[in-house]
Chain A
C-alpha cells in the first residue's frame, strides 16, 4: 500500500498566514522608521536653525564690539589730534551702534539673561554717548584743552570697560549655547543614523524571513506536487497490475474449469460405454436364465435369478442416470467456462426490442404455461454485448414463466430505467416467489429453491450472474415467498472493455 499524506490545505493556510504576518510587520516597521526619520529630521533642522541663530547673535555682538571700539578710538583720536578725519570716522561708526543694539535685543529677545545684559549695555552706552557728544562738541568748537581735561576725569573709561566686559560675557554665553546646540544636533544625527540602521536591519530580517517562508512554501508545494504525481503514476501502475492479476486469475479459473470438465468427461465416457456393454452383456445372460428356467430349473438358484433379472438391470439403470446427470453438470460447467472465454462485443441495443425478440422466440412456451409477458416502454438505450444480454433476459423471462404460483395466471412485466450511468432492467413476476434465505443461493451453480417440481439443473441463474458480471453489472432478487419475484439487472449504460480476455 502506498499512503501519501496530503497536508496541503492546512500547511498552505499556515504558510500564507505567516507570510501575511511578516509582510504586515515589515510595512509597520517601515512606516515607523519613516515617521521616526521624519521627526528626527524636523528636530535636526530646528537645531540647525538654532545654531544659525546663535551664529547670527555672535556676529551681531562682534559687530557691536567693533563699533564700540572703533567709535571710542575715533573719539580719542579726535580729542588727541583734532583732525576732522576722526570726526567723520566717529560719526560713521557711532551712528551704527543704536541699530546694532536694537538688532541684538531683537535677536536675543528669547533669552532673558542676554536681554538684561544688552539693557545694561544700552544704559551705559547712553551715558557714554552723552560724554562722547560733549567731547566731540568741545573739540569741534576748538576747546581741545577742556575736552582733554574732562576726558581725563569723566566716567567714559570705566563705562567702556563695563560695556566691553558685558559684551564678552554675551559672546561667551552664545559660545556656550552654540556648544549645547551643536551637541543636540550631533545627537540628533546619531539618532537618525541608528533609527535608519535599525529600520534597515528590520527590513532585512523581514525580507529574509519572508524569503524563507516563501521557500518553504514553494518546497512544500513542489513536494506535494511530486508526491501527487508519484501517486498518480503508481496508481496507474497499481490499477494495471491489479487488472492484469485479475484477468490472469480469471483466465486461470476459466482454463481450470475447462480442463476439469473436459478431463472429467473422459472417464465418464468409459463408465457410460462399459455400462452399455454391461447392459448388452446382461441381455444374453437373462436369456440364458430364461432358458435354464424352462429347461433345467434345478440348476437355478433364487439369487442367480434375482441377480440377472433385477439387480443387474437396476444397478445399470442407476449408473446410467447418474452418469447422465454428471454429464449434464459437467456440460454446465463447460458452458459457463466457454461463456467466460467468449469475446464480448458491446453495441447499441434497444432493450425493449430485444425483449420482444426473446418473447417471440419463446412464445409457445409462454402460451403453454398460460402466462402473459408485458414490456413497459420506453426503455433506456444501452451499450453492451447483445448475446449476453439476450441470454440473461431470456433466462429470467423463462424462469418467470416456469415458477408460477399454482392457480394464478402468470403476469410478467419487463421494465427498465436509468440511474445516472447505470441502466436497471427489471423482470417482475407474480409467481411463487423465493424464500429470503435463498436469495443469494439461487445464483449459485447447481442450487435451486422451493419445491423441486420443475426440470432443471440449477444452472440458469448461475449463468445469468456470470454473464452480468462479465458485462460489468450485477443482479439481485427481491421477493417474498408466494408473492412473486423481481430480478433487477444493473448494467453500465455504456460498457467499456477493460480486460483483455483472449
Chain B
C-alpha cells in the first residue's frame, strides 16, 4: 500500500457539491491519497505544470477532470495534459461529467482520457464507479524518473 500513498489525486471540478460527493465516495472506498481540489481550469493547470509540489515536478498523480468548467473546457485541459511533449502525458486522467454524449465521450478517449465516468443521477452507480477508482489507483505505475 505504500506505493499508493505517493499518488496524489488532483480533482478539477467547479461544482462544490459534486466535489464533496466525489471525495466522500473516494474516502468511503478506503482511498486515503491526498486530494487537491481546483474549481477552475487556470489554477488547476498552473498547479499541474508549475507548482513545486505539483505532479509535473514531483511524484505521480491521478487527475479527476470535469468537462464543464467556468473558464475553459475540460477537453482543453485534457489535450494539454496528453500533448506529445507534456510531462504529464502518462498521468491517468478520469473524466467525470454529466454529459453522456457519445461524441464527447469519443472525443475524450481520442484525446487520451483513461476512464470516462458520467455522473448519473442514480447515485448508487456513481458511488460504485468512484469506488472502483480505488482499484484503478492500485494499478497506477509510478513512472521511472527520467
Contacts and interface: CB of A to CB of B under 8 A. Distances in A.
A88 to B, nearest CB: 148
B146 to A, nearest CB: 39
Given A270-B17, A270-B21, A274-B21, A324 B121 contact: yes
A425 B78 CA distance: 48
A338 B101 contact: yes
A262 B127 contact: no
B127 A276 contact: yes
B119 interface: yes
Given A276-B123, A276-B124, A277-B21, A270 B15 contact: yes
Contact of B68 (A266, A267, A272, A273): A266
A417 interface: no
A272 B121 contact: yes
A273 B98 contact: no
B15 A273 contact: no
Contact of B18 (A269, A275, A324): A269
A267 B124 CA distance: 17
A265 interface: yes
B6 interface: no
A268 interface: yes
Contacts of A263: 68
Contacts of A265: 98, 119, 121
B99 interface: yes
Interface residues of B, number: 17
B85 interface: no
A248 B144 CA distance: 52
A290 interface: no
A273 B130 CA distance: 13
Contact of B119 (A269, A275, A338): A269
Interface in B98-146: 98-99, 101, 119-124, 126-127
Interface in B47-97: 68
A498 B99 CA distance: 30
A93 interface: no
Interface string A216-258: 0000000000000000000000000000000000000000000
Contacts of A338: 101
A269 B121 CA distance: 5
Contacts of B127: 276
A397 to B, nearest CB: 26
Contacts of B36: none
Give the one of B18, B68, B123, B127 with max A CB within 10 A.
B123
A276 B125 CA distance: 12
A277 B20 CA distance: 11
A377 B135 CA distance: 57
B121 A327 contact: yes
A266 B123 contact: no
A169 B26 CA distance: 160
Contact of B126 (A273, A323, A324, A327): A273
Interface in B31-45: none
Nearest to B17: A270
Contacts of B122: 272, 324
A267 B121 CA distance: 10
A266 B120 CA distance: 10
A434 B90 CA distance: 60
27 contacts: A262-B68, A262-B99, A263-B68, A265-B119, A265-B121, A266-B18, A266-B68, A266-B98, A267-B17, A269-B21, A269-B98, A269-B120, A269-B121, A269-B126, A270-B21, A272-B121, A272-B122, A272-B123, A273-B18, A273-B21, A273-B123, A274-B21, A276-B124, A277-B24, A324-B121, A324-B122, A327-B121
Which 9 pairs, one residue from A and one from B, show the smallest C-beta to C-beta distance?
A270-B17, A276-B123, A327-B121, A273-B21, A265-B98, A272-B121, A269-B119, A272-B123, A273-B123
Given A272-B122, A273-B18, 16 more contacts: A262-B99, A263-B68, A266-B98, A268-B121, A269-B18, A269-B21, A269-B98, A269-B120, A269-B126, A270-B15, A272-B123, A273-B17, A276-B127, A277-B21, A324-B121, A338-B101
